[in-house]
């Protein structure tokens, strides 16, 4: 119980920081909307490629932008740890009975809440731009897989933060990964229309699992088998990443 209580208090701490930085909230919310509008217009004619199954590109793109935005915002989760390390706050927590797991869970739960709110806003903007989805259950499942992939990627970010302990290193790692992971998935382009080698890479890309599952959940006559299978893989990945990031505290403490 203690660990859950500690996680809750740390989640609130992180949310307080966010609420006190309104400009950051603004950027986090406006940027995905810009992507939705920009990519939506830029790639509008993709629907005319023979074999593209979705009738409207905004229908197709919205879940993709939801997941890409989640990657970006969860990629910066480790920044919180780097700031806390620089300020000596992490050491204060580590010399108190706070569990390392609670520090990680507090960060991931905060990331999950931010991702959920951001995703709902993007879906809302998508619908306002003409996207049509069959059910609220589909939207809920999209949220679930988005939170799972952002938990995995957020854990990666936290681990990088604890292992390398420098803002520059984290910025480098996140920038190096997010766009390639996004373009090597079906965020913008249907997998069957990709070059062969990208199709193969995408099959093993967890971002693609999330996009495929999220998009399938939103479609009418959803392929529930695919949704369940991809969600299970994502859950496993998220748990393993979260556990590994907790282990990264050892590396940090050895450096002290």
In the complex, which residues of this chain contact other proteins (CB under 8 A)?
2, 5-6, 9-10, 13, 16-17, 20-21, 84, 87-89, 91-98, 253-254, 256
How far, in Å, CA of 144 to CA of 146, rounded? 5
Name the minimum Å distance from CB 147 to other proteins.
25
Instruction: Indicate the helix (H) or strand (E) that contains 153.
Output: helix 136-164
Residue listed under structure tokens 């766009």? 179
Helix axes 136-164 and 77-86, enclosed angle (nearest 10):
30
Name the minimum Å distance from CB 16 to other proteins.
6
State which residue, 136 or 256, has the beta carbon closest to other proteins. 256
Name the minimum Å distance from CB 253 to other proteins.
6
State which residue, 13 or 183, has the beta carbon closest to other proteins. 13
Closest CA to 187 of 73, 25, 35: 35
How are the residues of the chain apportioned to helix, strand and coil, as percentages rounded to the nearest 5?
A: 80, 0, 20
Name the minimum Å distance from CB 70 to other proteins.
24
Q: Token pair for residue 92?
A: 């204060």
Which of the 8 DSSP states describes residue 207?
Answer: H
State which residue, 13 or 47, has the beta carbon closest to other proteins. 13
How far, in Å, CA of 144 to CA of 160, rounded? 24
State which residue, 84 or 182, has the beta carbon closest to other proteins. 84
Name the minimum Å distance from CB 93 to other proteins.
7
**CB burial readout 72-110, b (16+ within 10 A) else e:** bbbbbbbbbbbebbeeeebeebeeeebbbbbbbbbbbbb
How far, in Å, CA of 156 to CA of 13, rounded? 21
Name the minimum Å distance from CB 220 to other proteins.
45
State which residue, 95 or 220, has the beta carbon closest to other proteins. 95
Name the minimum Å distance from CB 113 to other proteins.
17
Q: Token pair for residue 125?
A: 């903007």
State which residue, 225 or 254, has the beta carbon closest to other proteins. 254
State which residue, 11 or 119, has the beta carbon closest to other proteins. 11
């Amino acid at each position: 119980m203690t660990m859950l209580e500690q996680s809750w208090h740390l989640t609130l701490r992180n949310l307080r920081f966010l609420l006190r930085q309104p400009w950051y909230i603004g950027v986090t919310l406006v940027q995905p909307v810009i992507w939705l509008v920009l990519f939506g217009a830029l790639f509008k004619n993709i629907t005319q490629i023979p074999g593209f199954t979705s009738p409207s590109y905004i229908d197709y793109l919205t879940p993709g932008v939801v997941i890409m935005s989640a990657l970006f915002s969860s990629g910066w989760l480790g920044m919180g740890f780097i700031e806390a390390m620089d300020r000596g706050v992490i050491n204060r927590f580590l010399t108190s009975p706070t569990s390392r797991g609670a520090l990680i869970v507090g960060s991931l739960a905060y990331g999950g809440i931010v991702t959920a709110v951001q995703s709902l806003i993007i879906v809302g903007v998508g619908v306002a731009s003409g996207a049509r989805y069959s059910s609220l259950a589909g939207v809920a499942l999209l949220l679930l897989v988005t939170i799972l992939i952002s938990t995995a990627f957020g854990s990666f970010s936290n681990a990088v933060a604890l292992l390398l302990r420098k803002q520059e290193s984290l910025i480098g790692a996140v920038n190096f990964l997010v766009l390639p992971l996004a373009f090597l998935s079906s965020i913008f382009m249907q997998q069957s229309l990709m070059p062969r080698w990208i199709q193969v890479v995408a099959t093993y890309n967890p971002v693609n699992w999330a996009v495929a599952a999220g998009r399938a959940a939103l479609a009418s006559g959803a392929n529930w088998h695919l949704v369940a299978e991809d969600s299970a893989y994502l859950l496993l990945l998220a748990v393993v990443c979260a556990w590994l990031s907790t282990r990264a505290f050892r590396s940090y403490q050895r450096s002290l």
